[in-house]
Chains A and B, each alone.
Chain A
Amino acid sequence: MLQFNQVTKGYGEKKALDGLTVKFEAGKVYALVGPNGSGKSTMMKSAAGLVKLTSGTLTFKGKPIGVESKKHIAYMSTEPFYYDYMKIEDVGKFYKDFFQDFDSQKFASLLQFMELTPNLKVRALSSGMAAKLKIAATLSRKADLIMLDEPLNGIDLIGRDQIIHSVIQSTGNGATFIISSHLFDELEPIVDNVVMMKKGKVILQGELEEIRMEYGKSISDLYREFYSDTAMPDSMINGGK
């Protein structure tokens, strides 16, 4: 469904994506994990058409990313991205105006579930409320591919449960989900596949159960193993030698 082939994205000297090759299949729920700066957001933004590639090919259902793919891809960035002048209800109207797959009724019920008042100004929302609004608007689209970038970032426990519940409710209807996080544990109840990224490349991918069987370890242990050099300075890893 979504295929990255030798994709590179450079920002000056730094490469956010470095020869990335990965394929996401229809109807599956993927956890996209990796530490900060591993290229997760750049990868999602490029699929949403917001980031232009330096080289390589990126296709959605066999066609390059463009106007047609945007009709079927819903993307939620980690940063708040709604216009300041908008009220919560205006966000729904905007999505309704531009996306044929937007379900206004679902949006209204998600707002109710998330305890968000439609006439509140977007700029007056707390970070937790803004995150819930992003989730509500994105999940109200019946898109073929839904990408959520760090949906649980900076959310309190109750908000986390509400978001996880909303995501679980939305999966299983044939849509592909890619959900990123720098912590795997929080995604475990939602996903069935995992893609681990490091320095703009995929270092591990597959179904959760298969990976657990193959490596004989939990995904969290594998995560710690793969990223221990990122988490700690070399001197600590080498015992200070």
Chain B
Amino acid sequence: MGTLMKYEIKKSKLLLFITFGVVLITELAWLIGFYGKIETLSIIATILLVCFGVISAFIGMLFSITLYNDDLKKKSGYMLFMTPRSTIQIIASKVIVSFCITVALVILLSLCGMLDFSLFYKSTDPDALFTQILKPIANTFKENPGTIILIIFNLIIQVFANIAIIYAAIALSKSVLGNKKGSGFIAFLFWLGFTIVISLITSFVDKIVANNSTGFEFAFTNDGLSLSMPSQTITVFVLALCLNLVFSVIFYGITIWLTDKKLSL
């Protein structure tokens, strides 16, 4: 499995180099802007870093899809599928590598965000309105780091449930639907349908457990206002996480079965 993962990383090293390089250059630009008092540079870098944060999950998804789809679409897939490795190992290596890439990207962006935030926060006037707005966020990092970790972890698992559905949709379009007209469209509907189903089930869980009242609570701490999660919201988050994990396993199972038994390169 380690050997398979090594080659999955080698395949995506150019894309990895570009993605991580762009993030690091943007962070460097922010630091130059901050210490050099170049406001325009800081603002542009901040906007870019926020954008990267928002799309980091999609970048992870893109990595994952590329790793699987390219090997089915291009002749180079022969090289991989000719090796004496089981389909479970081949798919798992792609999933683990894309998971590690996503987590690494999220960690890098989080570290950049925390560094920039603390530098900026320390440099502002404590009584300024802007500082007062940022204070609850800073306090949440200090008082409830578990909340932040749960939110990030939930996001990553959601992304992977989505990747699992996309993998199954790709496998479906290249196998049993392979020679049928509109196979791509049917695969798209498959992905859309199950994404909606998972979303509806999550809403249903929210309704049963918390009567659709999940959200954040504001709590007063020694440092002022802080955000926290009420226990009902945590329950809903954990249940949604478990649900996404179950769907991930089911759809990876479908992908492996279709790839192993039905898919011709």
Interface set of A (CB-CB < 8 Å, partner B) = 9, 11-12, 45, 48-52, 67-68, 70-71, 75, 77, 79-85, 94, 97-99
| Smallest CB gap from A86: residue in B | B10
Q: Which residue of A lies closest to B261 (CB)?
A: A52
By a CB distance below 8 angstroms, the chain B residues around A79 are: 75
| Chain B positions 71 through 101: 1 when the CB is less than 8 Å from some CB of chain A, otherwise 0 | 0000111110111111000000000000000
Q: Is there contact, CB below 8 Å, between A70 and B83?
A: yes
Which of B75, B86, B263 has a CB less than 8 Å from the CB of A81? Answer: B75
Provide the residues of chain B in CB contact with A45, threshold 8 Å: 264-265
Residues in B whose Cβ lies below 8 Å from that of A52: 175, 261-264
Partner of B13, one of A67, A70, A75, A85: A85
Hey, what's the 0/1 contact readout for B5-36 against A, CB within 8 Å counting as 1? 01100110110000000000000000000000
Residue among B7, B14, B77, B82 facing the most chain A CB atoms (10 A cut-off): B82
How many Å lie between the Cα of A17 and that of B65 in the bound state? 32
Please name the 9 residue pairs, one residue from A and one from B, whose CB atoms are nearest each other, closest first.
A12-B179, A70-B84, A81-B78, A98-B83, A51-B264, A81-B75, A71-B84, A50-B265, A83-B76
Contact among A80, A84, A98 for B85, CB-based, below 8 A: A98
Chain A contacts of B81 at CB under 8 A? 49-50
List A contacts of B261 (CB < 8 A): 52
Task: Specify which chain A residues have a CB less than 8 angstroms from the CB of B118 in the assembled complex.
Answer: none
Q: A51-B265, A98-B83 given; name 19 further pairs at CB < 8 Å.
A: A11-B179, A12-B180, A45-B264, A48-B82, A50-B82, A50-B265, A52-B175, A70-B82, A79-B75, A81-B75, A81-B79, A82-B79, A85-B11, A85-B14, A94-B79, A97-B3, A98-B84, A98-B85, A99-B83
* Chain B residues within CB distance 8 Å of chain A: 3, 6-7, 10-11, 13-14, 75-79, 81-86, 175, 178-180, 261-265
Residue pair A77, B13 in contact (C-beta under 8 Å): no
A169 to B234 Cα, complex, angstroms = 69
Question: Could you give 17 example pairs across A and B, Cβ below 8 Å?
Answer: A9-B264, A48-B78, A48-B82, A49-B81, A50-B81, A50-B264, A50-B265, A67-B86, A71-B84, A81-B76, A83-B11, A85-B11, A85-B13, A85-B14, A94-B7, A94-B79, A97-B7
Report the minimum CB–CB distance from B184 to chain A (whole Å): 16
Residues in B whose Cβ lies below 8 Å from that of A81: 75-79
What's the A-B contact tally at a CB cutoff of 8 Å?
A: 63
Query: B75 contacts A99, CB within 8 Å?
Result: no
Q: Provide the bound-state CA to CA distance between A82 and B71, in Å.
A: 11
A98's nearest neighbour on chain B, judged by CB, is B83
Shortest distance from the beta carbon of B42 to any chain A beta carbon, whole Å: 37
Chain B contacts of A80 at CB under 8 A? 75
With contacts A11-B179, A83-B11, A85-B11 taken as known, whether A50 is within 8 angstroms of B78 at the C-beta atoms is: yes
Q: A52-B261, A98-B84 are in contact. Are A83 and B3 (CB under 8 A)?
A: no
B7, B11, B180, B264 pick with most chain A CB within 10 angstroms: B264
B-side contacts of A84, CB under 8 Å: 76
Is the pair B75, A77 in contact by a Cβ cutoff of 8 Å?
yes
The chain A residue with its CB closest to the CB of B6 is A97
| Minimum C-beta distance from A201 to chain B (A) | 19
With a cutoff of 8 Å between Cβ atoms, the chain A residues found around residue B263 in the complex are 52
A67 near B84: Cβ-Cβ < 8 Å = yes
Contact check, A82 vs B264: say whether CB atoms are below 8 A apart.
no
Separation of A79 and B3 alpha carbons in the complex (Å)? 25
Q: Which residue of B lies closest to A122 (CB)?
A: B76
Nearest-CB distance from A77 to chain B (Å)? 6
CB B13 to nearest CB in A, in angstroms, measures: 7
Query: Measured between C-beta atoms, what is the minimum distance from A102 to chain B in Å?
Result: 11
Query: For B7, B78, B178, B262, which residue has the most chain A Cβ atoms within 10 angstroms?
Result: B78
Cα separation A98 to B82 with both chains bound (whole Å)? 10
Nearest Cβ in chain B — how far from A8, in angstroms?
13
Residues of A within 8 A of B78 (CB): 48, 50, 75, 77, 81
Contacts of B265 on A, CB cut-off 8 Å? 45, 50-51
Name the distance in Å between A146's Cβ and chain B's nearest Cβ. Answer: 13
In the complex, which residues of chain A have a beta carbon less than 8 angstroms from the beta carbon of B83?
A: 70, 98-99
